[in-house]
């Protein structure tokens, strides 16, 4: 993710720096209802040649992990699932899960309410406009924060808190920001986030087993998660070969659970080449983010990925970004550190990394290294 909640556009050159590319002129307005038909796209959306989408992106080999045995308490199935998870995370950090226990009706509702939201006129969506420095709300293409290499998309992001129960933070967000007419949106996304939080805690058990630290270590660490949910909407683009829906980035968060619709567009950079992950409506795409890479002391990969757009069909994806409670200290378990595996990253809190990506640095493939250097300089 980019937590835009996080900004997910690449940067060039060494970090850290304040938003050097910040818009000095009035912000460009991304009105999808107009731009999707325009044959000349504004130059701010044209990406440099070396980053433009490639026509050919072979399918990435990712394991399709059946969670039914693990979720019903079968220890053999759990070990097999954890073995597959571990293998994928050492290679590139991406895998698919099926029979995950999330109701098909809930996933369908989450997509349906996305259509309802993004089909509204721009001024209606802007009632939830994300303000500078805030991490949640409606953002169209991040036109306020950056002025070049803009992503061709609109997003709505909101936070989910597992520790503020019985507060229903998502329901409250929709009611407070958009009003009574959005009560049902809040109900659907509250339920969806709760299902994502439960699923991610299960995956944390598998990750802990695969790393040899047992099923409870990471599960307990994320029990009170302060996570982020993002609805990504990519309108059609008449020049899809010039732009990107989401620029190349590694998610600074811990674990991403993505559901993409039938259109396709997710690509992952593995072995020096972009690969696709085709849609599978039964499956969630799961990937490790920078914070979990730090928790695993660098053993598991947070991999570069992006989304491409097309000229025919709008595309939607639902991204749940698991994050620890904001004040938890991110530090690998002792069992993952020894003389052969010295500490790769300093201790930090998720809140500090979140602020770093929002105030100082456009998330990219170097975020964690840039952040570690910045922390070390700050502590001098």
Ligand X SMILES: O=C(O)CCC(=O)C(=O)O
List of residues contacting ligand X (CB under 6 A):
1-2, 8, 230, 232, 246, 251, 258, 260, 265-266, 305, 307, 317, 319
CB of 217 to ligand X, least distance (A): 26
Catalytic site includes residue 362: no
Give me 252's structure tokens. Answer: 């600074």
Q: Give me the catalytic one of 219, 230, 306, 315.
A: 315
- How far is it, in rounded angstroms, from Cα 206 to Cα 227? 19
Asked, as a colleague might, if the bond just before 293 is cis with ω within 30 of 0, I would say: no
Give which of 6, 10, 106 is closest to 364, Cα–Cα. Answer: 10
Q: How far is CA 263 from CA 222, 234, 344, in A?
A: 32, 10, 38
Distance of alpha carbon 375 from the chain centroid: 23
Per-position DSSP letters for 279-324, written without gaps between them: --TT-EEEEE-HHHHHHTTT-S----EEE---SS--EEEEEEEE--
Give which of 380, 322, 376 is closest to 344, Cα–Cα. Answer: 376
Give which of 307, 308, 302, 271 is closest to 287, Cα–Cα. Answer: 302
Active-site annotation, residues = 315
């Amino acid at each position: 993710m980019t937590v835009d909640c996080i900004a997910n556009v690449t940067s060039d050159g060494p970090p850290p720096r304040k938003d050097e590319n910040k818009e000095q002129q009035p912000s460009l307005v991304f009105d999808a209802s107009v731009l999707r038909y325009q044959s000349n796209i504004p130059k701010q959306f044209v990406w440099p040649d070396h980053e433009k989408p490639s026509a050919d992106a072979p399918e990435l080999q990712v394991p399709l992990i059946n969670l039914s045995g693990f979720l019903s308490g079968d220890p053999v199935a759990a070990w097999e699932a954890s073995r597959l998870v571990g293998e994928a995370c050492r290679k590139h950090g991406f895998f698919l899960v099926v029979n995950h226990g999330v109701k098909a009706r809930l996933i369908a509702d989450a997509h349906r309410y996305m259509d309802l939201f993004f089909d509204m006129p721009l001024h209606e969506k802007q009632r939830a406009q994300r303000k500078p420095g805030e991490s949640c709300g409606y953002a169209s293409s991040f036109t306020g924060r950056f002025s070049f290499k803009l992503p061709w998309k609109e997003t709505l992001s909101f936070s989910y808190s597992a520790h503020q129960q019985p507060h229903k933070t998502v329901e409250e967000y929709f009611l407070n920001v958009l009003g009574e007419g959005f009560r049902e949106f809040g109900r659907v996304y509250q339920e969806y986030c709760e299902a994502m939080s439960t699923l991610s805690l299960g995956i944390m058990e598998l990750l802990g087993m695969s790393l040899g630290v047992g099923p409870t270590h990471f599960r307990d660490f994320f029990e009170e998660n302060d996570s982020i949910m993002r609805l990504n909407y990519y309108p059609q683009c008449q020049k899809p070969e010039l732009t990107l829906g989401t620029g190349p980035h590694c998610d600074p968060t811990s674990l991403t659970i993505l559901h993409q619709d039938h259109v396709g567009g997710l690509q992952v950079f593995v072995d020096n080449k972009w690969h696709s992950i085709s849609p599978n409506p039964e499956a969630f795409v799961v990937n490790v983010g920078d914070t979990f890479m730090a928790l695993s002391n660098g053993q598991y990969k947070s991999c570069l990925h992006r989304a491409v757009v097309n000229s025919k069909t709008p595309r939607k994806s639902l991204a749940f970004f698991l994050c620890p409670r904001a004040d938890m200290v991110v530090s690998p378990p002792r069992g993952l550190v020894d003389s052969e595996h010295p500490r790769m990253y300093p201790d930090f809190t998720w809140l500090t990394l979140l602020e770093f990506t929002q105030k100082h640095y456009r998330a990219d493939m170097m975020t964690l290294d840039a952040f570690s250097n910045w922390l070390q300089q700050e502590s001098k």
